[in-house]
Amino acid sequence: MSVSNYNNLSIKGKFDLYFRRLISTIADLRLAIILLLVIAIFSITGTIIEQNQPINYYQENYPENPALFGFLTWQVLLNIGLNHVYTTWWYLAILFLFGSSLIACTFRRQLPALKSAKIWSFYHQSRQFNKLAFSAEITTESLNIIESILNKKGYKVFSSDNSIYAQKGIAGRVGPIIVHIGMIIILLGAIWGAFSGFFAQEMIASGNTFIIKNYLEAGKLTNLEKAQSFQVKVNDFWIDYTPEGKVDQFYSDLSVINKQGEEVKRKTIFVNQPLRYKGITFYQTSWSISGVKVQLNNSPIFQLPMAELATENQGRIWGTWIPTKPDLSEGVSLITKDLQGTMFLYNMQGELINAIRPNMPVEVNGVNLKVLQLVGATGLQIKSDPGVPIVYFGFALLMIGVVMSYVSFSQVWALQEGNRFFIGGKTNRAQVAFEKEMYNILEQL
């Protein structure tokens, strides 16, 4: 468009021009490919970099000196939002732009292609067959014979007085549209999950009941009242060990309790076998030792908390201090590394006193000390993502559309000019198979 013509346009005309250019740019296949690559790169980044961890975790693993790759520090990571990639505004904006590109491409390219494929297009002159990939002049008695053969080959045949148009494989034209719809639904499911889902973690001692409170991330539309409308009780927690003493698997026996105090669901969970209730999933992810039950002489049984001690990556150990006098002037330290039962007692000078097991009495500072039980704690990762069913539905459509897209859309024309007969056709894929089919038709004629 020349400058003079552009200046003569009204405001509405200029707006329409800009809008058409914008839609043309968004519908560009190259833009869609670039956006898809960007989404893939940041999705991989979100998989490599641990998501939704405390700030101290990133400070320890992504220090400022030396910075990872020379620039990636914990401050850069948090400022960009790489600690929660999938819910950042820029990631959601990329998803929205990619979805807009798919919608624009569907309406500008795929739907017009499908509409044109449904239009009956008869040839009325023999020279029109010259532009086809396959064409021939044949000897036959009438167009009815050609129509009969094409019907047997699965073609949908349309005929006029002296011309035939036939097509099959219209699903191949519908397939790309289904693919686009499936991808758009996947994007909508991902966005909905980001805005209405949540992610939480809880460390609960065996025998305790809890309500979900420790939310690490929650969408703006998340229904937290639903997540807190019930309680979960950790009936028991235990660990299976290998013959070498290493952790083989850890289990949590969980019960879901409603507001009336009734147990509505119970399941023993372990890694890759979670508990699901009302769209909320409880995963078994970690464990700890929360406390120890102790008795001094004939005193009542009391429980002391245990804390995990720093070992500089030399394994996990837990410890506590047990007073042996009412005024807390004397006591012993108890150390253990697992729930198998072996514990070590140290005096106030840090010297090893004894190695004991549960219910094994030992005299310490003139007191009969008995450790009855180590209390384990289960580490639960709790997720809710209402967008998952939508995403699954989108993937199902995507797979169906991909299969449909492999169907060849083939078209055949036939024309009678006096005593001369012409036939030809074209296809959008599987050219060799189509030519074999056409040769077979010619042999039958």
pLDDT in tens, 133-190: 888 888 877 888 888 999 999 999 998 888 999 999 888 888 888 998 998 999 899 8
Q: Give the full edge-to-edge strand order of the sheet including 231-241.
A: 209-210, 231-241, 247-257, 263-269
Least confident stretch, 55-64, 288-297, 337-346: 55-64
Backbone angles phi, psi at 270, to 5 degrees: -150, 180
Of the pLDDT bands very low, low, confident and very high (cuts 50, 70, 90), residue 6 is very low
Residue-averaged pLDDT of the chain: 86
Which runs of E-coded beta strand occur in 129-197?
134-138, 156-159, 163-168
SS3 at position 284: strand
Percent of the chain with pLDDT over 70: 95
What are the tokens at 134?
A: 């396959």
**pLDDT, position 318:** 93
Residues linked to residue 215 through DSSP beta bridges, in sequence order: 200
- If you search the block for the tokens 């083939």, which residue do you land on? 410
Distance CA 423, CA 164 (A): 9
Q: What is the largest CA-CA distance in the chain?
A: 123
pLDDT in tens, 351-406: 998 898 988 899 888 889 999 989 999 999 999 999 999 999 999 999 999 999 88
DSSP 296-363: ETTPPPEEEE-EEEP-SSS--EEEEEEESSTTSSSEEEEEESSSSS-EEEE-TTS-EEEEE-TT--EE
- If you search the block for the tokens 């514990």, which residue do you land on? 343
Instruction: Please give the model's pTM, rounded to 2 decimal places.
Output: 0.71
**pLDDT, position 36:** 87
